Amino acid sequence: DADVTQTPRNRITKTGKRIMLECSQTKGHDRMYWYRQDPGLGLRLIYYSFDVKDINKGEISDGYSVSRQAQAKFSLSLESAIPNQTALYFCATSPDREMRTGELFFGEGSRLTVL
Protein backbone atom coordinates (compact mmCIF):
# COMPACT_ATOMS: atom_id res chain seq x y z
CA ASP A 1 0.00 0.00 0.00
CA ALA A 2 1.10 3.55 -0.75
CA ASP A 3 2.41 5.63 2.16
CA VAL A 4 0.56 8.71 0.89
CA THR A 5 -2.89 7.94 -0.50
CA GLN A 6 -5.06 10.34 -2.43
CA THR A 7 -8.73 9.94 -3.24
CA PRO A 8 -10.25 10.21 -5.73
CA ARG A 9 -7.57 9.58 -8.35
CA ASN A 10 -9.75 11.06 -11.06
CA ARG A 11 -12.80 13.28 -10.88
CA ILE A 12 -14.85 15.12 -13.46
CA THR A 13 -17.16 17.78 -12.12
CA LYS A 14 -19.12 20.78 -13.30
CA THR A 15 -18.58 24.46 -12.73
CA GLY A 16 -19.98 25.59 -9.39
CA LYS A 17 -19.88 22.20 -7.73
CA ARG A 18 -18.13 21.58 -4.43
CA ILE A 19 -15.34 19.04 -4.59
CA MET A 20 -13.11 17.56 -1.91
CA LEU A 21 -9.81 15.81 -2.44
CA GLU A 22 -8.60 13.68 0.42
CA CYS A 23 -5.13 12.70 1.49
CA SER A 24 -4.07 10.23 4.13
CA GLN A 25 -0.57 9.14 5.11
CA THR A 26 0.96 6.32 7.09
CA LYS A 27 4.45 7.84 7.31
CA GLY A 28 3.85 9.55 10.66
CA HIS A 29 4.98 12.90 9.28
CA ASP A 30 3.81 16.16 10.82
CA ARG A 31 4.01 18.31 7.70
CA MET A 32 1.54 17.93 4.86
CA TYR A 33 1.14 19.89 1.65
CA TRP A 34 -1.18 20.32 -1.30
CA TYR A 35 0.37 21.17 -4.67
CA ARG A 36 -1.15 21.79 -8.03
CA GLN A 37 0.61 20.73 -11.25
CA ASP A 38 -0.10 22.39 -14.57
CA PRO A 39 1.77 21.67 -17.82
CA GLY A 40 4.65 24.08 -18.26
CA LEU A 41 4.27 25.51 -14.76
CA GLY A 42 5.68 22.78 -12.57
CA LEU A 43 4.22 22.39 -9.09
CA ARG A 44 2.77 25.27 -7.13
CA LEU A 45 1.98 25.19 -3.43
CA ILE A 46 -1.68 25.68 -2.46
CA TYR A 47 -1.65 25.07 1.31
CA TYR A 48 0.60 23.48 3.86
CA SER A 49 0.21 22.33 7.44
CA PHE A 50 2.90 21.96 10.10
CA ASP A 51 0.55 20.05 12.40
CA VAL A 52 -3.15 19.71 13.14
CA LYS A 53 -3.44 23.25 14.54
CA ASP A 54 -1.13 24.98 12.08
CA ILE A 55 -2.38 25.62 8.55
CA ASN A 56 -0.86 28.11 6.15
CA LYS A 57 -1.57 29.49 2.72
CA GLY A 58 0.82 28.80 -0.11
CA GLU A 59 1.35 30.62 -3.39
CA ILE A 60 -2.07 30.00 -4.93
CA SER A 61 -4.62 29.49 -2.14
CA ASP A 62 -7.46 31.59 -3.62
CA GLY A 63 -10.48 29.40 -4.39
CA TYR A 64 -9.26 26.58 -2.15
CA SER A 65 -9.63 25.63 1.50
CA VAL A 66 -8.14 22.83 3.57
CA SER A 67 -8.84 20.82 6.67
CA ARG A 68 -6.33 18.90 8.78
CA GLN A 69 -8.58 16.42 10.50
CA ALA A 70 -5.76 14.47 12.12
CA GLN A 71 -2.02 14.11 11.81
CA ALA A 72 -2.58 11.60 9.05
CA LYS A 73 -5.33 13.37 7.08
CA PHE A 74 -5.30 16.58 5.06
CA SER A 75 -8.20 17.46 2.74
CA LEU A 76 -8.39 20.04 -0.01
CA SER A 77 -11.74 21.59 -0.94
CA LEU A 78 -12.91 23.61 -3.88
CA GLU A 79 -16.08 25.30 -2.66
CA SER A 80 -17.25 26.30 -6.13
CA ALA A 81 -15.14 24.71 -8.83
CA ILE A 82 -14.23 26.65 -11.96
CA PRO A 83 -12.64 25.39 -15.21
CA ASN A 84 -9.22 26.92 -14.54
CA GLN A 85 -8.94 24.68 -11.49
CA THR A 86 -8.62 21.76 -13.88
CA ALA A 87 -5.24 20.31 -12.94
CA LEU A 88 -3.35 17.46 -11.35
CA TYR A 89 -3.28 17.82 -7.57
CA PHE A 90 -0.65 16.28 -5.34
CA CYS A 91 -0.55 15.74 -1.64
CA ALA A 92 2.88 15.47 -0.05
CA THR A 93 4.37 14.97 3.39
CA SER A 94 7.70 15.69 5.03
CA PRO A 95 9.13 14.56 8.35
CA ASP A 96 10.21 17.80 9.98
CA ARG A 97 10.50 21.55 9.76
CA GLU A 98 14.05 21.65 8.51
CA MET A 99 14.69 22.12 4.84
CA ARG A 100 17.92 20.18 5.14
CA THR A 101 16.03 16.94 4.85
CA GLY A 102 14.49 18.42 1.76
CA GLU A 103 12.53 15.38 0.82
CA LEU A 104 8.85 15.46 0.14
CA PHE A 105 6.91 12.22 -0.16
CA PHE A 106 4.19 12.47 -2.77
CA GLY A 107 0.92 10.75 -3.36
CA GLU A 108 0.06 9.53 -6.83
CA GLY A 109 -2.03 12.55 -7.66
CA SER A 110 -5.69 13.41 -8.17
CA ARG A 111 -6.65 14.51 -11.65
CA LEU A 112 -9.52 16.99 -11.53
CA THR A 113 -11.44 18.18 -14.56
CA VAL A 114 -13.94 21.00 -14.20
CA LEU A 115 -16.33 21.34 -17.12
Partner 1 sequence: AQSVTQPDIHITVSEGASLELRCNYSYGATPYLFWYVQSPGQGLQLLLKYFSGDTLVQGIKGFEAEFKRSQSSFNLRKPSVHWSDAAEYFCAVGFLSGGYNKLIFGAGTRLAVHP
What are the residues binding partner 1 (CB under 8 A)?
A: 4, 40-45, 48, 50, 56, 90, 92, 97-100, 102-104, 106-109
Provide, rounded to whole angstroms, the least separation between the CB of residue 97 and partner 1: 7
User: At closest approach, how far in Å is the CB of 71 from partner 1?
Assistant: 18
Pairing label, strands 87-94, 110-114? antiparallel
Whole-number minimum distance, CB 75 to partner 1, in Å? 17
Query: What is the DSSP secondary-structure string of 77-101?
Result: EESS--GGG-EEEEEEEESSS-TTT
Q: Which of 52, 48, 35 is nearest to 88 (CA)?
A: 35
Q: Pick between residue 25 and residue 85 the one whose CB is nearest to partner 1.
A: 25
